[in-house]
Structure 1
Amino acid sequence: MIFKNIYFSMRFKIIALITLIIFFLCIFSMIEQQSSSNELMQNMETVLETKSNSIGNAISAQFYERYGDVQAFALNPVFQENDKKKMEAYLNQYSALYGIYDLIIYADLNGNIIATNTLNTTGSSINYQKISQENFSKEKWFINTVTKKFTEDSEKKFEGTYFEGPYIDPIVTNVYGTKSFTTTFSAPVYNKSGKMIGVMSNRANFSYIENELIESYKSLVKEGFPKTEITLLDSNGIVIADYDPSFTNVQEYKRDYELLNKLNLFQRNPDRAAYILATKMGIISSYHPRKKLDTIGGFSIINSPKWISSIGWTVLVRSETDSFFSKIYYLKYKFFISICLIGLFFIIISFFVINSVSKKFINISEHLKNSAAKTFITANNMSESSGKVACVTADQSNAVEQSVSAMSEISSMITQTVEHVNECSVFTSTVNEKTQQGNAIMDKLTNSMESIQNANADLQNMANIITEVTNKTSVINDIVFKTQLLSINASIEAARAGQQGKGFSVVAEEVGNLALTSGNAAKEIQTLLLDSQNQISRIIEITSKKISDAQTVSSDAAKEFVTISNEIESINERLKGITQATKEQQIGVNQVVKAMSKMDEATKQNNSLALETNELSKELKQEGLILEKIMKAVQVLILGNISLNNRQEKEMQLIEKLSESWKEDNKINNFNTIDPSKIEVKSLLGKVADNIKSKTEVSHPLEKVELTAEDEQFNEIKNL
């Protein structure tokens, strides 16, 4: 095959892949947009359906009010009187108040007019005399009202009113002189006893319904649907109202009597009529013969609590299909154009980004090729350096062995010093212990002296107690003396008493004897206490002096022991410091010995590693050649083999030409001084030098030499 050996560039492949991805994403987005547009169109169609239903509700609300108005008018007591002027006044008020009743007729049961409004809704006079002599007994509305054939719906509580229209009312037309499109609401008038006495007929201008169509159209315009037509059909499908300002170019409601009550849409399309009558509410699409275009519309048969279903009016809201969906069409077109432009933009950006990345890949591959060349040169330098390293490591190993033996001798001397210091430390520790024991004994002596001192304090307390006892004996002596005086007085009084006081005299004498005995005993106790107090005082004085002398001596001895103990502690701490220092020196020397041993081993390993490095440098040369082939494969992957072959061909031609020219000028001996990494020219010359060397020594094929990304010629062929 023609493309079997052709490899496209990575840039081409990635751009093609991204283009396909963006293309399929655009197609998918367009399909999704189309689906979303269809769904949105379906949702928009419901706007017309909803609007037709809301218009129906508005019409039913108006109908509900008009249906009740005529019955409310008929309840006015004025119509039970025969005052025509008064009746006309009330009817004029009703016409002006509601603003929709062109003519209100009150007739008797024979069909003759009793009263009508004489003014229109704006207060102007009307030509009511034209109908003042008419008889309505044969009119349908009159007959049905008198016979009580009302337009009713008992379930919704619609009773008592006959509804007719809309139509061109000949009665109102005769009064006003112009066509009047009205609906008629008629109800009987009863007297107080409940007997029918007449018929009230309100001729409501159909503008009250047409105004609802106008307001609904305005809301549709605000919602963005200006080309909309609102049509109202009766139960037979005949048009009774049609509002389409976009077609008539007139915002006011203009009645087209060529359509009203003449055009039957159900007869024009029976299938559509059957669908409307069956579904009651929904969406229809049809061709508009008057406008000659397709329309989309929503319909709703009026059905409300305020509406009589048998009337059967249908609201039809139609819009031009293209106009109705114009925004969706515009957004869809805009989306398609945008997605195409975005896709094209991303393809262009991807092209520039990938082109930039591929150029960086090419530069990186060229730098890797240069690095491979430098690696080849470095391998040669490593081979030479490894031999020198082997010689230096041998000398270093001998020096390290001598250092290890010297450090071993130093370590043994430090060990002896540590032993002597340890012995001194033991002696000082023993002396320190003895000193501490003597110090403890002195502390005990001091404590004993303090105990004796405390005992003297107790003796002093006893002396004080004896003094207090002596004082108490003095009190006892006073009491004895006073008792003796009392005894003497008692004896005197007993003697005075004579025989009766003789017994009391004996008692007084005995009390005096006891008091004398107590006084003698108290004197003896006081004498003993004084002797005891004197002896205790002498003892306290002697012991206090001895204790004071003993405390002074023991205190001095304790201070000396403390001084000796502190000095011994200081000596012991210094010995500990010396011991610690010598141990650290010993550890340091041992570590140095170990380190020197390791250095010896390391130098031996370095020697072996130098030999291994020489072998590895040769392998590194081979890896450089393999790396060069890998770089070529990377270039084929990035550029493809088409542009790469052209580029290599030009590159080889340039190197061959420079090589031949250099050999002729005898500059080959200087190729070792060229550093291909410094500047662009030297890079190219370095490759030429390698090419000449390969031919001279190993006869390598010339194809092995490549240009770098900085070469001027490579920059030319890189753009192929």
Structure 2
Amino acid sequence: MFKNMSLKLKILLLSMSGVVTIAIVSIILAISNFNSQEKLLKSKMFLASEDLSNSIQDQFYERYGDVKTFSLHFKNFSTNSREYINYLNQIVKFYGIYNLIMVCDLNGRLLSVNDEAPDGKKINSEILYKQNFSNTQWFKETLSKKFLEDAKKDFTQVNFQDAYFDETTESVYKEKVYSTTFSTFIYNSKGEPIGIISTHPNFIWVESTITRIYDSFYKANMKTLELTLLNKNGDVIIDYTPSLNNGKKDVIHDEKTLNKFNLIKAGQAAAVKLSQGEEGVIEAKHARRGNWQINAFKQVIGDKIVDDLGWKVLVRVDSDEAYSEIINSKIIYTIIFTLIFIIVISLSIFFSKNLANMLMNVANQLANGNLLLNKSSAEASSESQKLSAATLEQAASLQETVTAVNQISAMMNKTSEMADSSRRKSDENKIKVNEGKNVIHKMVDSISNIKSSNQEIMDQVLDGNKRISEIVKVIAEIESKTKVINEIVFQTKLLSFNASVEAARAGEHGRGFSVVAEEVGNLAQMSGNASKEISSMLESSINRVKTIIDQTKNNVENILTKSKETMKNGEAISNECASIFEQIFINSEEVNHLVYEIANSAQEQAKGVTEINHAMQELDNVTHQNSNIAQKTSKTAADLLRQSYEIEQMASHLVKIIVGNESNISQLKASSGNNNDKGNYNPPVNKNKDYDTNSKRQSFNMKSTKSPTIDSNIKKDSLHNKENSQPKAVTSEEVPSYNDPRFEDL
């Protein structure tokens, strides 16, 4: 069904689809953007609650540490003096938040207190010296060591009294004062408690942080911002809502609300979640006014506060005011989107109608242009007749080249014979070279044998030297042993002689010496025998040395004899190699002579080739002209005819696309008033078989600059006959095709 639609309707549907798609994507992105803005707003609210929580922790950490620091100044303090009062006045002025700093003994009697306010004005603190503070909450809890502490965070030995209306401070300043109290012991040098110091900072140390948070939101036009601080039980201890105070930023201490109104009991959703230990951002109704608000809630816990204090912060703002910019953005987006959608739809309709009209005009122009293509096809037919005449001239020029080709053929035969002779001589040289190569290999082997023989000689000589060295060592050892034995024999004989003499002198008592002399004689006899054996060993060693020397000499002579024979063989082989290479030299001379003859023949061939070039230049000129004409004719006729059909089909298809179905086309023809030839042009069919629409014919191209190879046995056909040598008029149907049998020889 989509195919039968008109182009205008198709374009309109496509543009509508694109617009709807873009609209859907735009709406999705807008919704995502609005949701991101809402999340960003809630994130900002939670960051504000987190900032408020961190600031309160910082202030608490300082107040907690201040009272412990102040207590160190009153070490060993027992009586009041102006020095201590001045010290307290300096502290009050420096910090600007402490209304009273009181120092009492362990019985509740006031020992010292500041007599100036933070602004430097005198206050009536004298009335406090008449009172006893042993019954006050902060004194009793400190005395009983009821501290708000966390040893892991280094919070120890300080009592904290949550926000309340301080009557003691009110009696001095004559006005309601909303305050807190930090109390701790004063110790002497022995570490014993001697008193209690109590600071009464105005609750401005928390309220200043709240007003700072409010100012940042006020600049962002969130005037309904409400900041609430709850104690551990859920009671309101700060309720800061300037929008209910005519926009005034003063902190109002409403006695009906502070420490009396409990948001958890009132069912306020954020307060309930805080009591359950949760943190985050939700939308909920205000417990008293009933309007919807964005609630960011956070526990006041961290490293700089005692978690048991249990404070909780609420940062709230009216939903209508918080989302006002987002709502305005949604309204503006809706209006702009609607306007753009209407404008785009209108433009789509306008452009689709104009585009359809322009395409219809183009289709009509294409049909008219088809008539011009028919005329161009007729011109192409005329060019093809010129091509036929030029082709016959080319055939005549080819006859002139036949004679030159025959001469070249004869020269080539002679060159071929000489080339064969050169090849045979070359083969002989190759054989001789191979023989020389083998002989050279033999000579190399002989030289290698000589080398190995020489090496054997060296080895034998070295071996002989080693043996002679061994013999020398043996003889030296024998010689040293012989000397020892001779000395032993001499000493033995001497001992034997002395023993005999002594035995003779001793008579009967010298028989033992006789035995010794006899044994010594035996030893001398054994030594003599050993000397004889050694002598025989020397003789044997000498004979062995002679034998080794003779063997070495014989081996050396044999090796030298072998080396001489090897050298003779090498000399003979070298002579043989020289003779062979002499023969190779002679053959090379013959080859050089043959090459000279080939060079002369080549010169003759060059002259013949020059004549062929002259003839072929004329042939090339005619061929080049014919080739250009053939290419133009073939390409023009085929392209024009093909383009004519293509344009007709394109025009018909374009009209069908623009109008749509067949019924619309017939209606367009009836109403357009254009003639059928212009609207539905059918080009005449060319009856020339050589130029059909499939472009089966290819023009005969003779543009090659190389001379064509022509067979010496040229066939006798109509091109070589006299009656065919002259060109004659031909019709378009007689134009030869590229596979005409008359062109076989070419």
Range into which the TM-score falls when normalised by the shorter chain: 0.5 to 0.7
Show the 5 A alignment for 1:441-452.
none
What are the Cα deviations for residues 112-165 of structure 1, in whole angstroms up to 9, with x where unaligned?
333322111111111223433222222222222222222222332322221113
Identify the residue that residue 669 of structure 2 maps to in structure 1.
648
Is 1:216 matched up with 2:236? no
- Candidates 599, 602, 610, aligned match of 1:584: 610
Is 1:27 matched up with 2:34? no
> Which is further off, 167-176 or 587-596?
587-596
> Residue 350 and residue 81 in structure 1: after superposition, are their counterparts in 2 closer, same or farther (change >3 A)?
same
SS at match of 1:268: coil
Q: Partners of 2:144 and 2:607 in 1: how far apart?
A: 141
> Residue 5 and residue 412 in structure 1: after superposition, are their counterparts in 2 closer, same or farther (change >3 A)?
closer
Q: Is the 8 Å Cα contact of residues 283 and 299 (structure 1) preserved in structure 2?
A: yes
Identify the residue that residue 498 of structure 1 maps to in structure 2.
none
Is 1:139 matched up with 2:136? yes
> Residue 377 and residue 112 in structure 1: after superposition, are their counterparts in 2 closer, same or farther (change >3 A)?
same
> Residue 153 and residue 600 in structure 1: after superposition, are their counterparts in 2 closer, same or farther (change >3 A)?
closer
Amino acid at match of 1:632: S
Q: Partners of 1:218 and 1:602 in 2: how far apart?
A: 94
Identify the residue that residue 571 of structure 1 maps to in structure 2.
none
Is 1:124 matched up with 2:150? no
SS at match of 2:303: coil
Percent of residue pairs bearing the same amino acid type: 27
- The root-mean-square deviation of aligned C-alpha atoms, in Å, is 4.7
Is 1:632 matched up with 2:652? yes
What are the Cα deviations for residues 486-507 of structure 1, in whole angstroms up to 9, with x where unaligned?
xxxxxxxxxxxxxxxxxxxxxx
Q: Partners of 1:92 and 1:218 in 2: how far apart?
A: 32
What are the Cα deviations for residues 25-46 of structure 1, in whole angstroms up to 9, with x where unaligned?
3213312332343244234323
Q: 1:231 Cα shift? A: 0.8
Q: Partners of 1:396 and 1:97 in 2: how far apart?
A: 121
- Candidates 189, 201, 204, aligned match of 2:201: 204
What are the Cα deviations for residues 51-92 of structure 1, in whole angstroms up to 9, with x where unaligned?
212212211221222223223323324772323433322222
Amino acid at match of 2:175: T
Identify the residue that residue 318 of structure 1 maps to in structure 2.
316
Show the 5 A alignment for 1:395-474.
none
Greater share of helix? 1
Q: Partners of 1:96 and 1:26 in 2: how far apart?
A: 66
SS at match of 2:651: helix
TM-score, structure 2 normalization? 0.56
Identify the residue that residue 370 of structure 2 maps to in structure 1.
372
> Residue 625 and residue 142 in structure 1: after superposition, are their counterparts in 2 closer, same or farther (change >3 A)?
closer
Q: Partners of 1:150 and 1:412 in 2: how far apart?
A: 131
What are the Cα deviations for residues 286-328 of structure 1, in whole angstroms up to 9, with x where unaligned?
1125555311121112112221222211111112223323344
Q: 1:207 Cα shift? A: 0.8
TM-score, structure 1 normalization? 0.58
Identify the residue that residue 265 of structure 2 maps to in structure 1.
267
Identify the residue that residue 101 of structure 1 maps to in structure 2.
98
Identify the residue that residue 255 of structure 2 maps to in structure 1.
257
Q: Partners of 1:103 and 1:286 in 2: how far apart?
A: 41
> Which is further off, 358-367 or 586-595?
586-595
> Residue 71 and residue 630 in structure 1: after superposition, are their counterparts in 2 closer, same or farther (change >3 A)?
closer
SS at match of 1:266: coil
Show the 5 A alignment for 1:560-639.
583-589=609-615, 592=618, 628=648, 631-639=651-659
Q: Is the 8 Å Cα contact of residues 400 and 600 (structure 1) preserved in structure 2?
A: no
Q: Partners of 2:80 and 2:2 in 1: how far apart?
A: 118
- Candidates 47, 53, 63, aligned match of 1:56: 53
Q: How many equivalent residue pairs?
A: 493
Q: 1:330 Cα shift? A: 4.1
Identify the residue that residue 293 of structure 1 maps to in structure 2.
291
Is 1:163 matched up with 2:152? no
Amino acid at match of 1:72: T
Q: Is the 8 Å Cα contact of residues 390 and 626 (structure 2) preserved in structure 1?
A: no
Q: Partners of 2:625 and 2:228 in 1: how far apart?
A: 114
Q: Partners of 1:354 and 1:592 in 2: how far apart?
A: 64
Q: Is the 8 Å Cα contact of residues 401 and 600 (structure 1) preserved in structure 2?
A: no
Q: Partners of 2:291 and 2:34 in 1: how far apart?
A: 22
Identify the residue that residue 176 of structure 1 maps to in structure 2.
173
Q: Partners of 1:399 and 1:105 in 2: how far apart?
A: 137
Q: 1:234 Cα shift? A: 0.9
Q: Which runs of 5+ in 1 are unaligned?
A: 420-574, 657-685, 695-720
Structure number with greater Rg is: 1
Q: 1:413 Cα shift? A: 13
What are the Cα deviations for residues 249-300 of structure 1, in whole angstroms up to 9, with x where unaligned?
0123333333222222111106654421223422232112555531112111
> Residue 102 and residue 191 in structure 1: after superposition, are their counterparts in 2 closer, same or farther (change >3 A)?
same
Amino acid at match of 2:300: I
Amino acid at match of 1:189: I
Q: Partners of 1:52 and 1:342 in 2: how far apart?
A: 42
Q: 1:405 Cα shift? A: 5.9
Q: Partners of 1:61 and 1:5 in 2: how far apart?
A: 74
What are the Cα deviations for residues 530-572 of structure 1, in whole angstroms up to 9, with x where unaligned?
xxxxxxxxxxxxxxxxxxxxxxxxxxxxxxxxxxxxxxxxxxx
What are the Cα deviations for residues 158-181 of structure 1, in whole angstroms up to 9, with x where unaligned?
222211131111111121111111
Amino acid at match of 2:119: T
Q: Partners of 1:643 and 1:394 in 2: how far apart?
A: 50
Q: Which runs of 5+ in 2 are unaligned?
A: 413-600, 685-746
Identify the residue that residue 554 of structure 1 maps to in structure 2.
none
Q: 1:102 Cα shift? A: 1.1
> Residue 23 and residue 143 in structure 1: after superposition, are their counterparts in 2 closer, same or farther (change >3 A)?
same
- Candidates 300, 303, 309, aligned match of 2:307: 309
SS at match of 2:123: coil
Q: Partners of 1:33 and 1:394 in 2: how far apart?
A: 77
Identify the residue that residue 361 of structure 1 maps to in structure 2.
359
> Residue 195 and residue 293 in structure 1: after superposition, are their counterparts in 2 closer, same or farther (change >3 A)?
same
Q: Partners of 2:625 and 2:64 in 1: how far apart?
A: 125
> Residue 594 and residue 317 in structure 1: after superposition, are their counterparts in 2 closer, same or farther (change >3 A)?
closer
Q: Partners of 1:189 and 1:407 in 2: how far apart?
A: 137
> Which is further off, 204-213 or 396-405?
396-405
Q: Is the 8 Å Cα contact of residues 407 and 592 (structure 1) preserved in structure 2?
A: no
SS at match of 2:264: helix
Q: Partners of 2:90 and 2:626 in 1: how far apart?
A: 131
Q: Is the 8 Å Cα contact of residues 60 and 304 (structure 2) preserved in structure 1?
A: yes
Q: 1:211 Cα shift? A: 0.6
SS at match of 2:181: strand
SS at match of 1:115: strand
Q: Is the 8 Å Cα contact of residues 99 and 201 (structure 2) preserved in structure 1?
A: yes
Q: Is the 8 Å Cα contact of residues 105 and 113 (structure 1) preserved in structure 2?
A: yes
Amino acid at match of 2:42: E
Q: Is the 8 Å Cα contact of residues 300 and 316 (structure 1) preserved in structure 2?
A: yes
> Residue 35 and residue 595 in structure 1: after superposition, are their counterparts in 2 closer, same or farther (change >3 A)?
closer
> Residue 324 and residue 402 in structure 1: after superposition, are their counterparts in 2 closer, same or farther (change >3 A)?
closer
Q: Partners of 1:5 and 1:25 in 2: how far apart?
A: 22
Q: 1:600 Cα shift? A: 13
